[in-house]
């Protein structure tokens, strides 16, 4: 049986976490803006909101218990400060500044938020 370290070195895990939570890509990890944004979301907002973002088909998908509570999700999304933490920028402003917009959706029967590139939203309206 392979050790965990051998499995990670073989590229089983997409991202390795090193000391102090610094993440470094494994050999086969995707190097795309979507993956970077998901990692950025997790580092800034994920812990305090008990949510998690990942890149799926070019979109950032956010899941977690906060999204199941629309009132609390709206509070978080629109306010710069949430649960005593000052993020410096409201989540929706942060997403739009990076060219994404949050869209309520579902994945595998669970409610989620998809961060779609703004140009995809604009082209759907035309």
Q: Is residue 18 part of a domain?
A: no
- Residue-range definition of the domain harbouring residue 74: 30-125
Does residue 6 fall inside a structural domain?
no
Total domains in the fold of the chain:
1
Q: What SS3 state is found at 25?
A: strand
Classify burial at 28, counting beta carbons within 10 Å of its beta carbon; exposed 0-12, middle 13-18, buried 19 or more.
Answer: exposed
- Pair 49, 62: CB distance under 8 Å: no
Tell me, what's the pLDDT at 10? Answer: 63
Residue-level pLDDT at 28: 44
Residue 119 placed within a domain:
yes
| Within-domain flag for 77 | yes
| Count of C-beta atoms within a 10 Å radius of residue 100 | 23
Asked if residue 50 lies in contact with residue 44, where contact means CB atoms within 8 angstroms, the answer is no
In a domain, 74, yes or no: yes
Q: What is the pLDDT of residue 62?
A: 92
- 55 bridge partner residues: 60
Regions in the chain scoring below 50 on pLDDT? 1, 13-14, 16, 19, 27-29, 122, 126
Residue 105 counted as domain residue: yes
Distance of CA 18 to the CA centre of its chain: 20
d(CA 54, CA 63): 9
**Does 16 map to a domain?**
no
What does the pLDDT look like over 48-59, one tens digit per residue?
888 988 888 777
In a domain, residue 57? The reply is yes
Q: CA 33 to CA 60: how far, in whole Å? A: 10
């Amino acid at each position: 049986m392979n050790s965990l370290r051998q499995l990670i070195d073989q590229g089983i895990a997409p991202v390795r976490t090193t000391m102090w939570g610094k993440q470094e890509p494994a050999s086969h990890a995707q190097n795309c803006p979507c993956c970077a944004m998901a990692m950025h979301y997790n580092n800034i907002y994920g812990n305090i909101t008990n949510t998690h973002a990942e890149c799926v088909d070019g979109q950032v998908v956010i899941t977690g218990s906060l999204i199941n509570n629309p009132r609390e999700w709206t509070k978080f999304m629109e306010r710069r400060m949430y649960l005593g933490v000052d993020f410096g920028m409201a989540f929706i402003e942060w997403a739009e500044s990076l060219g994404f917009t949050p869209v309520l959706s579902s994945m595998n029967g669970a409610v989620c938020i998809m961060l779609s590139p703004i140009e995809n939203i604009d082209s759907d309206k035309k």
